[in-house]
């Protein structure tokens, strides 16, 4: 053991021990910073692999948005001090590979391996980050739990889920129903006119054809009838708000307002295959909808509408913001008619949702065709 030369120092007894302790603490801090840097890199790289598969392999904008959100949250906590501690030349494991890496021949094997890689890195960030960077440790824990569900959805994406989302991407005219006389006839005509996305909306307090309040039994009958109509036209059928009703009639998904159940709860009940839409009235709500894994967003109301009494219109400014930023399909909604479609398109929107423009039209089929023509679309 080499003992320090103290002949030219005036340190007091024990100062050399203090210096040694300080040096040891500095080395330990540097090591932890290197460790955090390495695992932040590992987690972010693995998330990018998942993100690119969601984008190019699955063509799932909702999963892209969720994965990107996790990656950017980590990126925001990748501090400069950790990057400066990096020293690849002295890393004994740099470049080390494993034979298992050459056995990943299918995309799902790559997804599973990278999800595991991210989860392991996040666990390291939790454990070593607690004393040095509690914020990073807490965020790593939150992201790790989010990734469990995301991994499952990435692996299960396909089949019915993939087909539903493909049809959602192709839909540009969205009919939201209201309790009108001969509802089934109106929807059948709209489907004949080219509508391929229908939402059954019958809020509490709605009245039936006889003027009496709608019962759940009547709602079930109507929803089942509309579901069958949509199936015959290969159209998507969603239910507003009522997850129980959506499951009862095997709907393609649900639409949730800002005051309804959180999308995470809806997803647990519905499973990964069905669609979830969300009403949004501001950019922050749209960003949250994407982070929550929603498949599409309603954007509005563009104009004041009796469908949403008391709701202040957001105008076309929000439509412009939403369509420019959103990674998921956005449907402009709120008082939209054939005459207002050109202004909506000029704001950047290619999709609209309507209620009265079809349900109160003398000829719902003709109204649907006119709206689609104004949008320059077939569906």
The single residue of 68, 201, 219, 274 carrying the catalytic annotation is 201
How many degrees, rounded to 5, is the angle at CA 96 between CA 92 and CA 98?
Answer: 145
Pair 149, 353: CB distance under 8 Å: no
In residues, how long is the chain?
379
* The one catalytic residue among 60, 308, 345, 369: 308
Q: Is 201 a catalytic residue?
A: yes
Instruction: Give the closest residue to 257 by CA, choosing from 242, 278, 274.
Output: 278
Which tokens belong to 111?
A: 């997804």
Tokens of 81: 């001090």
203 as an active site residue: the answer is: no
The C-alpha angle with vertex 298 and arms to 293 and 300, in degrees rounded to 5, equals 140
Distance between CA atoms of residues 51 and 62, nearest Å: 10
| 308 among known catalytic residues | yes
- Contacts of 102 by beta carbon, 8 Å cutoff, 6+ apart: none
Catalytic residue among 34, 267, 279, 340: 279
Helical (H) or strand (E) element with 173: strand 173-176
Contact (CB, 8 A) for 121 and 42? yes
Share in percent of the chain as helix, strand, coil (round to 5): 60, 10, 35
How far the first Cα of the chain sits from its last, in Å, is 81
Lookup: tokens for 112: 């599973």
> Any idea of the CA torsion for 256, 257, 259, 262, to the nearest 10 degrees?
30
Mind telling me the catalytic residues?
A: 201, 279, 308
């Amino acid at each position: 053991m080499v003992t320090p030369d103290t002949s030219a120092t005036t340190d007091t007894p024990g100062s050399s021990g203090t210096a040694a302790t300080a040096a040891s603490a500095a080395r330990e801090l540097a090591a932890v910073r290197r460790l955090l840097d390495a695992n932040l890199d590992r987690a972010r790289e693995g998330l990018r692999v998942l993100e690119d598969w969601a984008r190019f392999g699955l063509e799932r904008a909702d999963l892209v948005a969720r994965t990107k959100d996790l990656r950017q949250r980590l990126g925001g906590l990748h501090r400069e001090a950790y990057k400066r501690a990096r020293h690849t030349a002295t890393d004994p494991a740099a470049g080390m590979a494993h034979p298992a890496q050459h056995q990943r021949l299918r995309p799902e094997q790559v997804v599973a391996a990278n999800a595991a890689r991210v989860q392991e890195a996040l666990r390291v960030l939790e454990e070593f980050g607690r004393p040095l960077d509690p914020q990073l440790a807490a965020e790593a824990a939150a992201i790790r739990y989010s990734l469990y569900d995301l991994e499952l959805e990435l692996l299960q994406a396909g089949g019915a889920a993939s087909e539903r989302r493909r049809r959602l991407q192709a839909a540009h005219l969205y009919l939201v129903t209201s309790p009108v006389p001969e509802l089934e006839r109106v929807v059948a005509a709209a489907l004949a006119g080219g509508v391929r996305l229908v939402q059954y909306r019958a809020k509490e307090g709605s009245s039936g054809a006889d003027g009496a309040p709608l019962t759940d039994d009547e709602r079930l009958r109507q929803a089942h009838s509309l579901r069958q109509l949509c199936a015959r036209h290969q159209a998507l059928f969603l239910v507003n708000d009522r997850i129980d009703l959506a499951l009862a009639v095997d709907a393609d998904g649900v639409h949730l307002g800002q005051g309804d159940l959180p999308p995470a709860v809806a997803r647990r009940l519905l499973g990964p295959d069905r669609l979830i839409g969300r009403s949004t009235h501001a950019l922050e709500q749209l960003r949250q909808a994407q982070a929550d894994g929603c498949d599409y967003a309603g954007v509005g109301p563009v104009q004041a509408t009796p469908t949403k009494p008391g709701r202040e219109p957001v105008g076309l400014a929000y439509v412009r913001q939403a369509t420019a930023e959103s990674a998921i399909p956005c449907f402009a909604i709120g008082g939209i008619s054939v005459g207002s479609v050109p202004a909506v398109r000029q704001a950047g929107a290619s999709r609209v949702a309507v209620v009265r423009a079809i349900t109160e039209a003398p000829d719902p089929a003709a109204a649907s065709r006119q709206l689609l023509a104004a949008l320059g679309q077939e569906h």
